[in-house]
Amino acid sequence: MKITEVTTYRVPPRWMFVKIETDEGVAGWGEPVIEGKARTVETAVHELAVYIMGQDPSRINDLWQVMYRGGFYRGGAILMSAIAGIDQALWDIKGKVLGVPVYQLLGGLVRDRMKTYSWVGGDRPGDIIANINTMREAGIDTFKMNGTEELRIVDNARAVDAAVARIAGIREAFGTDIEFGIDFHGRVAAPMAKVLLRELEPFRPLFVEEPVLAEQAEYYPRLADSTSIPLAAGERMFSRFEFKHVFERGGIAIVQPDLSHAGGITECLRIAGMAEAYDIALAPHCPLGPVALAACLQIDFVSHNAVLQEQSMGIHYNKGAELLDYVTNPEDFRLEQGYIAPLPKPGLGVDMDEDRIIAASRHAPDWRNPLWRHPDGSVAEW
Ligand SMILES: O=C(O)[C@H](O)[C@@H](O)[C@@H](O)[C@H](O)CO
Ligand SMILES: [Mg+2]
């Protein structure tokens, strides 16, 4: 079997799909994207396609190494996202050729269902109580939200009180009938992280995510020493070679590699295994589309330390298309009390509606996150 075609489709709301075709009629799908840099990743996918055209798609490990090492420069958000989507498509092809879901190729199920969580509130964490009430009607009981709005490197008591009051209101409304993680989203600098973690401690969130920016990872162990709240990170780390420093330094209780940013199934499976050796939980990051989620679930169902799966149903980013709009087997992604069952179909387990994707790709937005500024006019982390 040989790879004959690599086609990319940028589609609303901010996703991109890659379709890899072969000379035997089997095609695989992936979702290579960095939110806000879809065109850049698209170019990277086609630059990498030169290495895989005409090659045997079954040799995933070799193609991965060629794409990672063959071009001298390596790593980072763009290249690892491009490799991720191609890798996902290659695993999709392999499963389809062999007639089994990818998780069967990785040793079979370690669990019968996977717990997911949903985003509530938006860029500015608002309407959280109403959002939670709506989602609880669908049986969802685990959530994530932004912890703050813009926050200065050193900010004042009012900003801290606003963040705390929001979380206090959730516990007051729902007690421990629901659980939630708080995403600091990189908006909190090291000086304020310790302050906020202390003030949030009494509300016992499941985790605090990106307590500081990934480039400040050396603070993770110090922050972990200052709080009992499990700290989570990983969406802005792109390979084993970045995660290994976090494992060695400690401080992170939950790693959140993104299957569409960190080299795909091949790389994230290794990251999951490394994390387990350090008694670190796995909660793949996935605010993206259906192929990214399907790839996450393949890892979740073979990883003992997988605890939670992010999924984007109803997320504030999905303007113009919802999670399953481009999928012809949405029933396989049904949530039961927030849990999702193993995807039954061969490969990644997601059947893509290519006609709908082609039509949508004709008006793909160039989504970018908003540029925030502090009152003094300086750039604020979004
Ligand atoms: O935890 C999450 O889902 C992420 O922080 C998410 O909000 C961002 O990755 C966003 O997609 C970037 O455009
Ligand atoms: Mg996040």
ipTM of predicted assembly, 2 dp: 0.98
Q: Which residues on adjacent β-strands are paired with residue 28?
A: 20
Domain boundary among 100, 115, 133: 100
pLDDT of amino acid 225: 98
Nearest CA among 267, 258, 209, 264 for reference residue 237: 258
**Does 198 lie in the same domain as 66?**
no
Residues 300 and 110: beta-carbon distance below 8 Å = no
**Does 25 lie in the same domain as 162?**
no
**Does 120 lie in the same domain as 25?**
no
Ligand 1 neighbours, Cβ below 6 Å, are: 35-36, 183, 185, 235, 285, 287, 310, 317, 369
**Does 174 lie in the same domain as 113?**
yes
pLDDT band per the 50, 70, 90 thresholds, residue 326: very high
Decide if 352 is inside a domain: no
pLDDT of amino acid 95: 99
**Does 129 lie in the same domain as 203?**
yes
Summarize the confidence of residues 11-22 as an average pLDDT: 98
Tell me: the pLDDT tens digits for 243-281?
999 999 999 999 999 999 999 999 999 999 999 999 999
Q: Which of helix, strand or coil describes residue 278? A: coil
**Does 62 lie in the same domain as 127?**
no
- Please give the C-alpha separations between residue 60 and each of 22, 278, 292, 306, in angstroms, as whole numbers: 14, 27, 18, 23
Decide if 76 is inside a domain: yes
**Does 315 lie in the same domain as 180?**
yes
Measured from the CA of 369, which atom of ligand 1 is nearest?
13
Q: Which of helix, strand or coil describes residue 8? A: strand
Instruction: Tell if the pTM clears 0.95, that is, is over it.
Output: yes
**Does 233 lie in the same domain as 127?**
yes
Separation of CA 236 and ligand 2 centre (Å): 9
Q: Which residues are annotated as a binding site?
A: 183, 209, 235
Summarize the confidence of residues 132-137 as an average pLDDT: 95
Decide if 378 is inside a domain: no
Summarize the confidence of residues 18-27 as an average pLDDT: 98
Domain boundary among 57, 81, 100: 100
Report the nearest-CA residue for atom 11 of ligand 1. 287
46 is catalytic: no
Q: How many domains does the chain have?
A: 2
Decide if 247 is inside a domain: yes
Domain boundary among 67, 83, 100: 100
Decide if 260 is inside a domain: yes
**Does 223 lie in the same domain as 79?**
no
Decide if 149 is inside a domain: yes
- Please give the C-alpha separations between residue 3 and each of 81, 119, 171, 258, 266, in angstroms, as whole numbers: 20, 38, 53, 26, 18
Residues 32 and 259: beta-carbon distance below 8 Å = no
Separation of CA 186 and ligand 2 centre (Å): 8
Q: Which of helix, strand or coil describes residue 202? A: helix
The CATH number given to whatever domain includes residue 96 is 3.30.390.10
Summarize the confidence of residues 134-147 as an average pLDDT: 95
In angstroms and rounded to an integer, the radius of gyration of the C-alpha atoms of the chain is 20
- Provide the domain limits for residue 234: 104-347
Tell me: the pLDDT tens digits for 189-225?
999 999 999 999 999 999 999 999 999 999 999 999 9
Structure token digits, residue 51: 């290495």
Q: Determine the Cα–Cα distance for residues 368 and 316; give it in Å rounded to an integer.
A: 13
Q: Determine the Cα–Cα distance for residues 311 and 290; give it in Å rounded to an integer.
A: 9
**Does 122 lie in the same domain as 16?**
no
Residues 310 and 284: beta-carbon distance below 8 Å = yes
Q: Determine the Cα–Cα distance for residues 227 and 60; give it in Å rounded to an integer.
A: 42
Peptide bond into 13 cis (omega under 30): yes
Decide if 372 is inside a domain: no
Q: Determine the Cα–Cα distance for residues 86 and 31; give it in Å rounded to an integer.
A: 8
**Does 18 lie in the same domain as 120?**
no
**Does 159 lie in the same domain as 58?**
no
Q: Determine the Cα–Cα distance for residues 43 and 8; give it in Å rounded to an integer.
A: 10
pLDDT band per the 50, 70, 90 thresholds, residue 294: very high
Of 33, 34, 35, which is best to mutate to test ligand 1, by the most ligand atoms within 8 angstroms of its C-beta? 35
Decide if 9 is inside a domain: yes
Separation of CA 283 and ligand 2 centre (Å): 11
The CATH number given to whatever domain includes residue 270 is 3.20.20.120
Q: Determine the Cα–Cα distance for residues 118 and 106; give it in Å rounded to an integer.
A: 27
